[in-house]
Amino acid sequence: MITMDDIIREGRPTLRKVAKEVTFPLSEEEKNLGNELMEFLENSQDPQKAEELQLRGGVGLAAPQVDVSKRITAVLVPSLDPDSKEPEFKDVLYNPKILSHSVQEACIGEGEGCLSVDRDVPGYVVRQARITLRYYNAEGEKKKIRLKNYPAIVVQHELDHLNGVLFYDHINKESPFTLNEGVLVIE
């Protein structure tokens, strides 16, 4: 089971590498890793388990964050409606790739954080507002979906990890909270 001890922090080289694509059929190890990444997210979003295991809450976790330089990431974005059990987006993505995206950009109003970054880095992280994502599931089935709002932002944060990019790389150093015309701010 993945806990915070397994998550590497900034400064570790794997976080700055371009991760390798997986080939199908997946090895048992690659299948297990995908499941363990998702299990971490589920535990981290369960108040009791997060407390017991001392987990920071996460909506995504990429293989490079557990020192595995492979193009695998789990995403678990809970529903906006606290009464609904259905997550807004939940899947383990193998070899994810953005096929196309909106011209419009978006950012999260409160900025972003990262399980591999043990400090607050204030500022807007401007990303594509809407994306068309292609990925493979654990069975090697090709998926093609369109995402917008928070799920689109989270997936782009995770894909960055597969390319050795951290969220604060996108923040304007001179003026962290400057926004161009038309950038959607997601609250």
Q: Which of 38, 63, 72, 114 binds Ni ion (CB under 5 A)?
A: 114
User: Of 31-39, 56-64, 93-101, 174-182, which part binds ligand SB7 (CB under 6 A)?
Assistant: 56-64
Q: Are 7 and 66 in contact (CB under 8 A)?
A: yes
Q: Closest CB to Ni ion among 108 and 114?
A: 114
Given the residues 30, 88, 112, 158, select the one marked as catalytic.
158
Residue 170 marked ligand-binding: no
54 CB-near residues (< 8 Å, 6+ apart): 3, 4
Residue 114 marked ligand-binding: yes
Question: CA dist 131 to 85, 102, 118, 154, Å?
Answer: 25, 6, 29, 11
Residue reference for tokens 């900025």:
111
Known catalytic membership, residue 158: yes
Dihedral of the CA atoms 171, 21, 144, 132 (nearest 10)?
20
Residue 161 marked ligand-binding: yes
The answer to the question of residue 153 lying near ligand SB7 (CB under 6 A) is: yes
Q: Which of 30, 88, 91, 158 binds ligand SB7 (CB under 6 A)?
A: 158
CA dist 98 and 132 (Å) reads: 6
Q: Closest CB to ligand SB7 among 69 and 140?
A: 69
Q: Are 33 and 68 in contact (CB under 8 A)?
A: yes
The answer to the question of residue 127 lying near ligand SB7 (CB under 6 A) is: no
Q: Which of 37, 55, 61, 147 binds ligand SB7 (CB under 6 A)?
A: 61
Dihedral of the CA atoms 115, 94, 141, 35 (nearest 10)?
-50
The CB density around residue 64, as the number of other CB atoms within 10 Å, is 27
CA dist 107 and 123 (Å) reads: 10
Q: Which of 34, 60, 78, 151 binds ligand SB7 (CB under 6 A)?
A: 60
Q: Which of 76, 157, 159, 171 binds ligand SB7 (CB under 6 A)?
A: 157
CB of 140 to ligand SB7, least distance (A): 24
Residues marked active site are found at 158
Query: Which positions touch ligand SB7 (CB under 6 A)?
Result: 58-62, 65, 108, 112-116, 153-154, 157-158, 161
